[in-house]
Chains A and B, each alone.
Chain A
Amino acid sequence: NAGVTQTPKFQVLKTGQSMTLQCAQDMNHEYMSWYRQDPGMGLRLIHYSVGAGITDQGEVPNGYNVSRSTTEDFPLRLLSAAPSQTSVYFCASSPRDRGPNQPQHFGDGTRLSIL
């Protein structure tokens, strides 16, 4: 049981490049979220999804796109990378079938640097 898997673990991009951060979970969780973590700012929600085909914006969605075509995968796309997007990105999932108030399971994170 792998849990939540994020790839890549590290990435360096140049300004203006695009890329996709991958997130996959094998626990059949309905809820999935993307967060970015910057020093002193805690974890800020970028986008989240309550199930396949349904996504919604979080606190800091600008510059990021998501889609949820399957229950397992929730990729995060940077269309045109900017230095302000240098951060650590975490993906998390939680189940819905056992009711609300379920703990979130986090991936190990992707450390992204934009030059």
Chain B
Amino acid sequence: QQPVQSPQAVILREGEDAVINCSSSKALYSVHWYRQKHGEAPVFLMILLKGGEQKGHEKISASFNEKKQQSSLYLTASQLSYSGTYFCGTESGGTSYGKLTFGQGTILTVHP
């Protein structure tokens, strides 16, 4: 079952902040975040493990609430280069290691 991402789309001005959420109905071992530019392959951003870990990548960070099976991606002081579609991918562990189930994506558009 696919995780659910919200919102479906976000429009920002340069410098503004955004939060993208990812929720799953299944117990999760990890959450992956990827960004995809139009016509290109998804590119890895970060992985979060169960345990409420928060990680950062430049001005992009994320958190993972294991109890709620939710992850959030935080984009601060957005830049034009942040535009694209963001996907969360969830991994349930056990015999499903390496098997990701992706959300439907959140389209982020940053304007000058």
State the B residues within 8 Å of A (CB).
2, 5, 29-30, 32, 34, 40-44, 47, 49, 87, 89, 91, 93, 97-105
What count of chain A residues pass the 8 Å CB interface test? 28
In the assembled complex, which residues on chain B have CB atoms less than 8 Å from the CB atom of A43?
42, 87, 89, 102
Least CB distance from B54 to A in Å reads 15
State the A residues within 8 Å of B (CB).
30-31, 33, 35, 40-45, 48, 50, 56, 58-59, 90, 94, 96, 100-109
The answer to whether B98 and A59 touch across the interface, beta carbons within 8 angstroms, is no
In the assembled complex, which residues on chain B have CB atoms less than 8 Å from the CB atom of A40?
104-105
Most chain-B CB neighbours within 10 Å: which of A33, A48, A101, A107? A101
A115→B89 CA distance, assembly (Å): 31
A7→B40 CA distance, assembly (Å): 15
Least CB distance from B26 to A in Å reads 13
